Every structure is written in C-alpha cells, then in structure tokens.
Structure 1
Amino acid sequence: MNIVQPIRDAELIQEIKEFLKNWNERNYILFLLGINTGLRIKDILKLRVSDVEGWSIFLKEGKTGKLTEIHMPNELKRALRSYIKGKDKNEYLFKSREGKNKPITVSMAYVIMKNIEEEFGLERIGCHSLRKTYGYHHYKQFNDVVALMEHFNHSDPKITLIYIGMKQDEKNKYQKKFKI
C-alpha cells in the first residue's frame, strides 16, 4: 500500500504554485483547490463553474454522502474568478480534452501530481497529498485537531493526527535524537 504524505514545507508549496501557474492554469487551480479546501480529489473533479461562483462551495461528499460547505480563502477565490471568467456555468472546472464536457479523471489528476513530484524531487506524493497538505497546515496554524477531525469526518483525533502526518513527524523527531 502506498501511503502518500502532505507537502510540509510552506516555501515549497509557494514554488509549486508558481510552477503550476506558469505551466498550466487548470492544474494550478486543481492544486489550489486541494490544498485550500481539503476536499477529496473525486469531489473536486465533480465541481462545475456554478459551484465556485460564490464564496463557499456546497456539495454532497461522494464518500460519506454528507452535505458540506467550505468557505474559500481569498487567494483561491481570486484565482477562481479569473479562471472561470467567460466559462459556461455548467462546464466542469477541470475539463478533459476528451468528450464535450467531461471532467479529467482521477488518473489524470494523479499524473499531474506525479509531474509535481518529479519536478520538485518529492517522494510519496499523490492526489490525497492535497487533502493531507490542507490538514497538516490547518493543524500547524490553528492547533485545533477537533475542528480538523470534523472537517475530515474522522471519528477520533488520533486518526486525524496520523492522517496528516503529525504522528510521523513526532516519531522522526525522536528518531533523529536517538543514540545508544
């Protein structure tokens, strides 16, 4: 089983955003949505222009079936406004080149993440890294595991801390200091 990791380095995230902005606007917006909302990739790919016109995204999560509302931070909202300008309200945000109005596949999103991994020399990065990156940085900023646990629909704070890589960071910190 491949366990993907969050992108922990905030400076690296900025570099990735700049790279994506210059490489492909669709991929840049995909990355921004993932790291700023914590949504699963399948839910992100189902979004249409009309879903992101306001300040919040309202959707029924595919995995849990729960209705959720996610307020968009300013940077994401500004980028989305520019990206959707002139697009039809029914158009998928991440439109595939194949078909008339179909979203890219999870496999294509994975290829995008693998390109990022290769370009920046990262390891264990995949689509779920976007959601984990959101969680990791949310926890670092607010230190509120309960809010994050509820956002992710986890049943226990311990699960959330493991999920976002905090437990691994703690183990690594001790292991670096360990000596016999």
Structure 2
Amino acid sequence: MERVEPIRSEKKIKDLKKYLLGSNNIRNYTLIVLGLNSALRISDILELKWCNIYDFEERTFKSHVYIKEKKTGKDKKFLLNKNAIDALKKLKKELEHIKPADYIFTSREGQNKPITRSMALKIVKSCCAAVGIKAQIGCHSLRKTFGYHSWKKGVPLPVLMELYNHSNQSVTKLYLGISQDDLDEVYRLVEL
C-alpha cells in the first residue's frame, strides 16, 4: 500500500468542500467531510448506517457515534462535530426516505449496499486533483488530515494516539505527516 499524505492546507480543504458542494454531489461531499472530521478509516465510514448517527425516535442526530473498528476490533466512540452534522443533514435532506438499517453512503448499484473502497478512493483522488491538491492522496489522507490539523492546533500526541486507537506514539507520529516546513516553522517560532 502506498503511503499517503494529509491535506496540509486549510485553504485547500475549503476549496475541496466548495468544489464538492458546487458539483451538487452531496453524497461525496458528506463522505469527505465526515472523513475529515471523524478520523475514521474508510472501511469504518462505509459501514456506517443511519441508525449509527441518527436517533429515529427523537428525530435528531446523535452527539456521539459508537462503532467497533473493522481493522482492530476495538470499540470506538467519537463526537459528531458541527461540520459533520451539517454535512449529514444535507445528505439526509436530499434522500427521499431513509431507514435505520440503510447505509449512509449507498452505492447506485444494488439495494442498500455501501459504495466500495475503490469507489471511495476514486472520489477522494478525483476531487482532490480537481482543486489542485498535489500531495500523494488516498482515503487515508482524510484520517491523517484530522490528526495533522489537530496537532497543528496544539492537541498533545498522547491524546491523538488515544483518538486513533494506536498502540504506540511512533505510529501516531507517522500519521501526522510532519514535513520540513513544519520543522522550519518551529525554528521561526522559537527565536531565543
């Protein structure tokens, strides 16, 4: 598997979201926004059903989502932030009828099947290319982007390690995709 990078530019992230909204494909917009804001692997995002994120009795989005990670088998609880909920609301509004057992990111082929990982990869790569993101991009870039921007905003490494369910900090450090520009920024910041 080739190594992918996070999307480091907040402007490019905004451009990406604007592009997706402009192309009027709310499913793809929501897929990318949820990927950027949940730090989940694409395999876990594609397995999400409406009952995981929406309370049908209360008719409201849940504040937290509980899943069992497909890769690790570990339990994961994460907060649906405002950006994720806003994107999910857009998608829900666009869909005619949703049932609790429906996948959120349904394929156009067959009934109640999620899109495939290869389709998700195609969506992420093509949308990023359309807005001029030149880094090595894949679905895992969305997960890494969350960590990178969390780290840039001062979230400590042990917290990110816990968030990612990593067993050691060295794996988390790799996720952050720290570049020479990030290191140079430290030297500019700390002038003693």
Q: TM-score, normalised by structure 2?
A: 0.84
1:42 pairs with 2:43:
yes
Aligned length: 174
1:2 pairs with 2:21:
no
2:16 and 2:128 in contact (8 A); partners too: no
Structure 1: 5+ residue stretches without partners = 175-180
User: The residue matched to 1:142 in structure 2 has which SS?
Assistant: coil
Select 1:77's aligned residue among 81, 85, 100. 85
Deviation at 1:167, TM superposition (A): 5.5
Q: Which residue of 2 aligns with 1:143?
A: 155
1:38 and 1:134 in contact (8 A); partners too: yes
Q: How far apart, CA to CA, are the structure 1 residues paired with 2:39 and 2:50?
A: 19
Deviation at 1:36, TM superposition (A): 0.3
Q: Tell me the alpha carbon deviations over residues 90-118 of structure 1, each in whole angstroms, 9 at most, x when there is no partner.
A: 11111001111100000000100121232
Correspondence list, 1:1-180, <5 A = 1-23=1-23, 24-53=25-54, 54-85=62-93, 86-121=97-132, 122-166=134-178, 169-170=181-182
1:117 and 1:123 in contact (8 A); partners too: no
1:110 and 1:126 in contact (8 A); partners too: yes
Q: How far apart, CA to CA, are the structure 2 residues paired with 1:98 and 1:64?
A: 29
Deviation at 1:173, TM superposition (A): 7.0
Structure 2: 5+ residue stretches without partners = 55-61, 187-192
User: The residue matched to 2:13 in structure 1 has which SS?
Assistant: helix
2:4 and 2:141 in contact (8 A); partners too: yes
Which residue identity is paired with 1:22? G
Q: Percent identity?
A: 42
